[in-house]
Amino acid sequence: MAQDHKLEIFRGLWKFKSNTQKIWGVLAFLTFVTIIEVALGIFKPESLMGKFLGMKLLNWIFIILTIVKAYYITWDFMHMRDETKGLRRAVVWTAIFLILYLIFILLQEGGYVFDVYDEGYIKRDF
């Protein structure tokens, strides 16, 4: 079993000699990403406060970095990288499709309810 681990990340840019080394490498990367997130969260640079597709640029960066972290946890810690294509797709695509669908519906509806409160005759500022 031990010899069938794929030992490279970043599409082969970073190769490791053993699985143990790869684990530490991924830890270093995840820590680095978390530090960037926390630093951005504390300093909140003015330049990233602009809106992009209805959300602050900074929030988009946070979400993208989170997905990057999730990818490396799943692929290297949970060894998804070493599973067959069939298993990988059955797990990942199913989840991603359903989650995106759910998020779209609920956020759309939440925005609509906000508009009703905001523009309609319902008063909640008292």
Partner 1 sequence: MSTAVVEGKTWGGGNQPLKASYGKMMMWFFIVSDALTFSGFLAAYGFSRYKFIDAWPIADEVFTHFPFLHGVDAPMYYVAFMTFVLIMSSVTMVLAVDAGHHLNKAKVTLYMFLTIIGGLIFVGSQAWEWNTFIKGDYGAVQTKGGNILQFGHYTEKDGEQVFKRVAVRDFAITTASERTQHERKNGLWYVDEAPLPPYTVGEVVEGLEANEDILVRTQIINEEGEKTVLSRAESLRQIKENGKLVVEGANLKVNEYGSPLFADFFFFITGFHGFHVFSGVVINIIIFFNVVLGTYEKRKSYEMVEKVGLYWHFVDLVWVFVFTFFYLV
Task: List contacts with partner 1 (CB under 8 A).
Answer: 1-2, 19-20, 23-24, 27, 30-31, 34, 37-38, 41-42, 49, 59, 62-63, 66, 69-70, 73-74, 76-79, 83-84, 86-87, 90-91, 94-95, 98-99, 102-103, 106-107, 109-111, 113-114, 117-118, 123-126
Q: How far is the CB of 15 from partner 1 (least distance, A)?
A: 17
For residue 117, what are the contacts with CB-CB under 8 A and spacing of at least 6? 124
**83, two tokens:** 């599973």
27 phi, psi to nearest 5 deg: -60, -45
